[in-house]
Amino acid sequence: MTYCRKWIGRRPTQQAFEARGFLVHKTWQQRIIQICGEEKSDLLNRYWDEVAMETVGSAGQGDPKSRWFAVQPIYRSAFLDDLAGKVDFADSKFRNPPPIRCLFDYSRKLYDDQHLRFEEAIFFENLKRLESERLAIRTSGWTGKKRDVMPFIARFGGELGFGPYRNRCRKTIGNGLVFDVRVDLGGQPECLGHIPLLFSIFHRDDPKFVHDIALFERILPGFDRYFYGESPDVFVLGIRAHMELFSILADSFENS
C-alpha cells in the first residue's frame, strides 16, 4: 500500500472534479455547513479531509466511523481517533454514527422524517437535471437495463484514457496502479434507480490486494447524490460523474 502515501488529498481532487463542471456534491457540502453553522466549517472540512485520506491510506480496508481496520493502514488519523473518543451521543438506529454532533442530528432527522427525505431527494434530482442539461449529457441508447450501461462506460472511459479489457474498462498509470471499472450484472436486469458500476484499484504486481470503492462519498462527501437517479438524463449524468471522478483519482496518484 505504499502508493497510498502519494495521494494528493480530498480538496485538490474535489477542485479537479468541479473544474469539469460537476457541482452537486458541493451544494450538499454547503447545505451541511449551513445546517451545522458557519463556525463549524473548518471542523467539517477537516473531518472530510481526514476521512478521505484515511480511506485511501487503508486502501478501503477500514471504516473511519467505527475506527475498524482490516489491515494496518498507511495513514491513520489521530484527529479522527480523538473525535471518536469524545462521542457522547448514540441512537440504536445507527451502528456507527458520525462523530460530529450536527452530522449525527442531521442523519437522524433524515432517517425519522419521511417528508424531509422526499424533499431532499426532489431537490437534488432537480439539481442534477439542470447539471445534465448544462453539461449536455447525451442519453441516446439508454434503456434502463444493466446490460446497456457498458456502452456508456466504454464511451466515457475512452474519452478519459480507459481502454477495453474483456467486459470492463481499465486504465494503468505509471506507478503500476490499475483502475478497473465493470458493470454489476447481478440480481435484477434493471438498474432500479442506482448506478450498477463496480470500481476497484490494485497494483499490477499485487492483483489480489484490491481496493474496492463501495463508498465514493468517503473520498468526496456528497458524491453519493450521483449514485441515484430516476430519469435517463440524471442516470447518465451519474455514470459520467463516476467515470470522471475515477479518472481524476487515477491522475491524483500519478501526478503526486
Can you tell me the distance from the alpha carbon of 207 to that of 204, in angstroms, rounded to the nearest whole number?
A: 5
Residue 5: the pLDDT is 59
Per the structure, the count of domains in the chain is 1
Can you tell me the distance from the alpha carbon of 65 to that of 168, in angstroms, rounded to the nearest whole number?
A: 32
On whether the CB atoms of residues 52 and 245 are closer than 8 A, the answer is: no
Residue 162 is placed in which grid cell? 480507459
Task: Give pTM, 2 decimals.
Answer: 0.93
First to last CA, the chain: 15
Residue 43: the pLDDT is 98
Can you tell me the distance from the alpha carbon of 169 to that of 252, in angstroms, rounded to the nearest whole number?
A: 19
Residue 253: the pLDDT is 77
Q: What is the mean pLDDT of the chain?
A: 91
On whether the CB atoms of residues 203 and 176 are closer than 8 A, the answer is: yes
Secondary structure of residue 239 in the 3-state scheme: helix
On whether the CB atoms of residues 32 and 103 are closer than 8 A, the answer is: yes
Residue 179 is placed in which grid cell? 483502475
On whether the CB atoms of residues 43 and 30 are closer than 8 A, the answer is: no
What are the residues whose beta carbons fall under 8 Å from the beta carbon of 208, sequence distance 6 or more?
202
Can you tell me the distance from the alpha carbon of 54 to that of 81, in angstroms, rounded to the nearest whole number?
A: 11
- Residue 140 belongs to what domain range? 2-254
Q: Is the pLDDT of residue 58 over 50?
A: yes
For the stretch 114-146, pLDDT in tens is 999 999 999 999 999 999 999 999 999 999 999
